A and B are shown apart, each in its own frame.
Chain A
């Protein structure tokens, strides 16, 4: 789809008449956004149908819209607790990642110290580590320390890729803050802790916002580790969704409804940080 629009609109753009330019831009964006939204719309469509309607008739919109699928999920604790579990460990992970990444990013952005470059790359390598490599050792490690099937286990496991990312993003933002600000604050008698919390953190607020957004995002979407490390008490929604495969075949309606519900937290987060994202993306390096 993308290739077709590219060839169709490039000649129009190069003619560079302003109005044609704007229109072709709008067309490109419209086509792309439709491409993005169509599968999501189809999921929504499915979630509002009963399973019999899905399998018997093919229609572009629900013939008899029903909320029965959502009712199934929201009234059954084994379903909705999945959402609660996911949100608990995602928030824990975001808080832990940002808290430990802030001082480290400050150190990398301000000081040269023994082995700093190697350390920075070593941190990044953990972002490159395939979760599949770590699934089994994690399972054994957390079982042996008695953390298996707890929220904190998943939160800590996700730190593997979120902490390096947070350090990387925050370091980019902190480098943009002039060093004179630190020095002036120290001359004014601020201690390191007070300066960091009162002056420095507000300055890089949008950076913290962007880093938190990415931590939330990568922890929320990850399945392999969170599924491996949990069985009942901390089972994430993503793993619960595999339940819809039963002996009587797939319950497509409930599966679709569960999918739609997993999109909502992400959509809310995007809505709240939308200004940070535009600004943050531009200011920092990520």
Chain B
């Protein structure tokens, strides 16, 4: 659609701008402020320059947390995106069963995140949880509070449980927008199931899949509540992801300077990766003429 040039449109955007400026720019400036200053208490601040940034860049703790975070996000995307597409392909197209599946699948999305943590904390416990007890009965040693591998497996399965439905719902929406004529044409051409997927369904889902990847990347990169409830970042530091580490530093130890420097770098990393996704996405949009 052709858009008219109208600079007065700024007035329509103004309420959003004021609101977001209040709730984003002011706090962000506070963070920037802390990141370049040092304090000895009593609200007396001294200019510290890039000292904190320097300290954080050489901190093994930060790099370890970043490494764990990147592995976590990569594993999450690698499981949830294909599984979500697969589920969407198997969903009923319309009628009672379609809404039945939609409602049940949307359920995990609307459970408060700490309750998701609680659910899995209970479900995976060896003494009172179904999953933990079953694995224990099968003779598999499994204890997510002491064993790093078990803790990782629990956190990943929990995230798959929690978020695969979002990917599936988005992919399902993409599939719904494909006209029946496409499938009929494919049938006449005797296209195989794979080529129908590869040449009709996948291209049509491209737009929504990019949104799904973007959302899942951003949210998994900032994950805090669920692993915090289940493992508390442990055993040791094995499931301490970036947000958990940051909250520990800022609200637990009150190391404002380093925490602020950490925050800014954390935000910049997300921003950079998301910008790449966003650019790719808008270019795709243009090519397809959405």
Contacts and interface: CB of A to CB of B under 8 A. Distances in A.
Partners in one complex: yes
B20 A223 contact: no
Interface of B: 1-10, 12-13, 15-17, 19-20, 22-24, 26-28, 30-31, 79, 83, 86-87, 90-92, 98-99, 101-115, 118-120, 122-123, 127-131, 133, 160-161, 164-165, 169-170, 172-173, 176-177, 192-194, 207-208, 211, 218, 221-222, 224-225, 242-243, 246-247, 250-251, 256, 259, 263, 266-267, 270-271, 274-275, 278, 290
A36 interface: yes
A40 B119 contact: yes
A107 B266 CA distance: 32
Contact of B110 (A42, A179, A220, A222): A220
Given A241-B118, A266-B107, A112 B83 contact: no
Contact of A112 (B4, B31, B92, B222): B4
Contacts of A123: 16, 20
A20 B3 CA distance: 50
A13 B274 CA distance: 36
A221 interface: yes
7 contacts: A6-B86, A32-B105, A43-B122, A125-B271, A127-B218, A133-B266, A224-B247
A111 B115 contact: no
Nearest to B160: A2
B242 A130 contact: yes
B104 A33 contact: yes
Contacts, number: 286
The number of chain A residues touching the other chain, given as a range, is 35 or more
Nearest to A270: B106
B122 A46 contact: yes
Task: Tell me if A's interface is mostly helix, strand, loop or mixed.
Answer: helix
A106 B111 contact: no
A46 B110 contact: no
Contact of B27 (A25, A138, A167, A217): A138
B119 A54 contact: no
B20 A159 contact: yes
Nearest to B270: A128
Given A28-B90, A128-B271, A130-B266, A217 B112 contact: no
A151 to B, nearest CB: 15
Contacts of B13: 103-104, 107-108, 119
Interface string A192-234: 0000000000000000000000000100111110001000000
B16 A130 contact: no
Contacts of B115: 238, 241, 259, 262-263
Given A39-B161, A100-B19, A163-B20, A274 B6 contact: no
A179 B3 CA distance: 9
A285 to B, nearest CB: 6
